[in-house]
Structure 1
Amino acid sequence: MSTTGAPDPSRRNDATRRAILSAAIDQVGEVGYAKLTIERIAKSAGVGKQTIYRWWPSKGAVFFDAFLDLAGDGEAAALPDTGDLAADLKLVLVATVDELNDPRFDRAMRALHTEIVLDPVLAADYAARLDNPMREIKKARLRAAQEVGQLADEVDLEVAVDLIWGPVLNRWLHRTAPLTSEYAEQVVDTALAGLTPRKS
């Protein structure tokens, strides 16, 4: 008597879902977001269009979930806290640089940014599901530094997040200069020089 049992529907559905998300990223890399269609995604993933529409209402929704999957949505619960704020921030920013320099991530991120500008619904979804939660994680690490005197009490943490992460994203977005780990480390040093408590 066979002991293998019936196929697990949830396992099959998860494999199908991941194939669809991977196909969405791959197709953006091949044809760009403007030419991305549900039909292209379905053909690349080897599924029917109705399978995609059963889970997502639009190509934008598929692509955003694909991007979250690529970026490791939900994996980072907190930034590293070794007690050395500069070292921790440099570690995070250098990892961000490596990610942005990865061609697959770069294409997906640029497509997402373009669509956010054009689609208010997607922009709101991006803010709620990715940007705002990540800002809270960043602020929590800076708040911990503030509590032990590594940042001045009066520092606005919202502004501090922009000062630390903004330059890296701006250089990547506008391609004004090479995005390197050395630059990321310089950003941290420069930002912290302006944020640390003034000695009396």
Structure 2
Amino acid sequence: MPDKPVPDAGRRSEKSRRAIYAAALALVAETGYPKTTVEGIAARAGVGKQTIYRWWPSKADVLLEAFLDLGEQAAARQGDGQGDGIPDTGDLAADLKAVLRATVDELSDPVFEAPARALTAEGMVNEQLGRRFVAQLLEPQLELYVRRLRSAQEAGAVRPGIDPRIALELFVSPLAQRWLQRTAPISHEYTDTLVDYALYGLAPR
């Protein structure tokens, strides 16, 4: 008799990991962070809760890793280059507009938007989660803008005295505020305008 194929433990683990990611993101979107539990994630994913605890120490670790993976998957599909940094074509305005348009698309995608809102809201009242959310997810993305703006400074497209970390807030912060507060729709036209205002100012040219 031919030998039976040996199960691929790595493949099985990856399948379980993906199921856990999906379950965690779905539950936090449906019920909010406080009501999401490791037991609920395990049941939704069809795994034992000990499987989750073997890989992650808490539900926060599961959710943050799942959310980070969601962003990486979206970036890979869009090919927006954020994995290596914001593209540098030599045209700062065009590069910023391109990456912000991709951000609008991501924020408008229900798959991303629902868990993002749940985690952001919880991070405002849960200081520990909020700090981890910023450190693991937000700051790495902001650093991409810092590097692109520094590159523009070196090329002479941005004044030498400008602090890139403050400058990026001119277009990133208004977008985040409008998205969080739902004061008005976000769109490509809106982020294009933010970049124009930030780079060229409000005074007559």
Give TM-score, length-normalised by structure 1.
Answer: 0.90
What does 1:60-139 correspond to in 2, within 5 Å? 60-72=60-72, 76-139=83-146
Q: Paired residue for 2:166?
A: 159
User: 2:23, 2:196 → 1: CA distance?
Assistant: 40
Q: Say which structure, 1 or 2, has more relative contact order (CA 8 Å, 6+ apart).
A: 1
User: 1:27, 1:70 → 2: CA distance?
Assistant: 15
Farther off after superposition, 164-173 or 22-31: 22-31
How many residues are paired up? 196
Alpha-carbon distance, 1:182 to partner: 0.6
Would the alpha carbon gap of residues 90 and 48 (structure 1) be closer, same or farther in structure 2, given more than 3 Å must change? Answer: same
Q: Paired residue for 1:41?
A: 41
Question: Does the alignment pair 1:31 with 2:31?
Answer: yes
User: 1:171, 1:3 → 2: CA distance?
Assistant: 61
Give TM-score, length-normalised by structure 2.
Answer: 0.88
Contact in 1 for aligned 2:124/2:130 (Cα 8 Å): yes
Contact in 2 for aligned 1:61/1:122 (Cα 8 Å): no
> What does the per-residue CA deviation read over 1:29-87, in whole Å, with 9 as the maximum and x for residues that have no partner?
32232321112211110011111111122222211111111111796121011111111
Would the alpha carbon gap of residues 124 and 31 (structure 1) be closer, same or farther in structure 2, given more than 3 Å must change? Answer: closer
Letter in 1 for 2:30: E
User: 2:23, 2:129 → 1: CA distance?
Assistant: 20
Which segments of 5 or more consecutive residues in structure 1 lack a partner in the other structure? none
User: 1:3, 1:127 → 2: CA distance?
Assistant: 51
Farther off after superposition, 125-134 or 80-89: 125-134
Query: Alignment identity in percent?
Result: 50
Q: Paired residue for 2:199?
A: 192
CA RMSD of aligned residues (A): 2.1
User: 2:167, 2:135 → 1: CA distance?
Assistant: 20
